[in-house]
Amino acid sequence: MFGVMRLTNTAQGDFIILGAYAAIASLGAVALSPWVIAALLLPLAFAFGYGLQRQVLNSTLGRDPLPSLVVTFGLSIVIQNLLLQLFSADPRSIETEGFNTQSISLPGSISVGMLPLAILAFAVAATAALQWLFNRTQLGRAFRAVSDDKEIAELMGLNAHHVYALATAVAFVLIALAGALQAMRTTVSPSDGPLLLLFAFEAVIIGGMGSFWGTLVGALLLGITQQIGFRIDPGWGIWFGHIVFLAVLLVRPQGLFPKTRG
């Protein structure tokens, strides 16, 4: 998402948390399975993303990165405090009827949790779907065109505002999915957003800009580093993750599998 629009959304993490709370709130309102709720949320997220980009973010795009940064940073503060006001600071999660504690045993007394496995499957599926969308469909071509050169793309008859809005809409579907999964996997609280943003950003930079598989590899690498760090000393886990990110930046600033430049 970072690489395509050349817009840095500093509220990305907070939108994930917003998605999680939306799922939690609707679960409290109607008695449906968490999976059904998540599926129902996705079209909503699509519409929300489209509207946000069209009404708010499009007017901040330009050569100067400041307006979009300030607006998304402002959104981040608004979302955090709104959630704090509505749901209090207590951590919450989604009850998945025991699914989050089930596991399958593998030979060698290794057991793998069902939920983490499902999340990994979702991540791989989402990556593949995005890659397909970008490389094989007309919409994907439009995304790539406005990303490469907005003016030329507009000359060719594309409406850049519409294309940007669609890209954000697609991004928000994934954000909502991530939010729902996050709330099933662990607890969420209103102030969790910025950390998620930093992790997402690190994964993108480690993986290389504009490459979805690269981002997936970057995310896995980051997660594994953090887990190793936590094993060594609980205080240093996230620190190790940050250091790996900075090291990649120093040694290979274009990331491991870069697709687009700058």
Partner 1 sequence: MSVQVHRSNPNSRRALVGAGVLLLVAATLPFWAPAGSASSWMREFVEIACYFTFAMMWNLLAGYGGMVSIGQQAFFGFGGYVMLMLGNFAGVNPFVAVPLGALAAGLIAVPVSFVAFRLQGGYFAIGTWVIAEVFRLSFANVSAVGGGSGTSLTALRGIDKATRETATFWMALACVVAAIALVYLFLRSKRGLALLAIRDDEVAAESQGIDVRGMKLAVYVVAAFGGGLAGALYFVGNLRISPDAAFSVNWTAFAIFMVVIGGIGCIEGPMVGALIFWALNKFFSDYGTWYLLGLGLLAIIVTMRFKQGLWGWVQQRRGWSLFPTRRQLVTGD
Q: Which residue has the tokens 């499957």?
A: 121
Return the range that interacts with partner 1 (CB under 8 A); candidates 110-118, 153-161, 169-177, 246-254. 246-254
70 binds partner 1 (CB under 8 A): yes
Look up residue 224 and give its two tokens: 């594994």
List Cβ neighbours of 181 (8 Å cut-off, separation of 6 or more). Answer: 38, 119, 122
| Shortest Å distance, C-beta 223 to partner 1 | 16
Instruction: Name the 3-class secondary structure at 10.
Output: coil
Pick the closer one to partner 1 by CB: 8 or 103.
8
Return the range that interacts with partner 1 (CB under 8 A); candidates 28-36, 42-50, 120-128, 191-199. 191-199
Return the range that interacts with partner 1 (CB under 8 A); candidates 43-51, 128-136, 148-156, 199-207. 199-207
Residue 233 backbone phi and psi in degrees, to 5: -160, 125
| Shortest Å distance, C-beta 85 to partner 1 | 5
Q: Angle at Cα 204 formed by Cα 198 and Cα 208, nearest 5°? A: 150
List Cβ neighbours of 49 (8 Å cut-off, separation of 6 or more). Answer: 165, 168, 169, 170, 171, 172, 173, 175
Pick the closer one to partner 1 by CB: 107 or 253.
253
Cα–Cα distance between 260 and 21 in angstroms, integer?
A: 34
Answer whether 237's CB lies under 8 Å from 226's CB.
yes
Query: How distant, in Å, are the alpha carbons of 1, 73, 123, 138, 238 from that of 5?
Result: 7, 17, 21, 17, 28
Which residue among 33, 39, 40, 81 contacts partner 1 (CB under 8 A)? 81
Return the range that interacts with partner 1 (CB under 8 A); candidates 63-71, 93-101, 128-136, 160-168. 63-71
| Shortest Å distance, C-beta 119 to partner 1 | 24
Pick the closer one to partner 1 by CB: 33 or 81.
81
Write out the residues near partner 1 by the rule CB under 8 A.
2, 6-8, 10, 56, 59-60, 65-71, 73-78, 80-82, 84-85, 194, 197-198, 201-202, 205, 233, 235-236, 238-239, 242-243, 245-246, 249-250, 253, 262
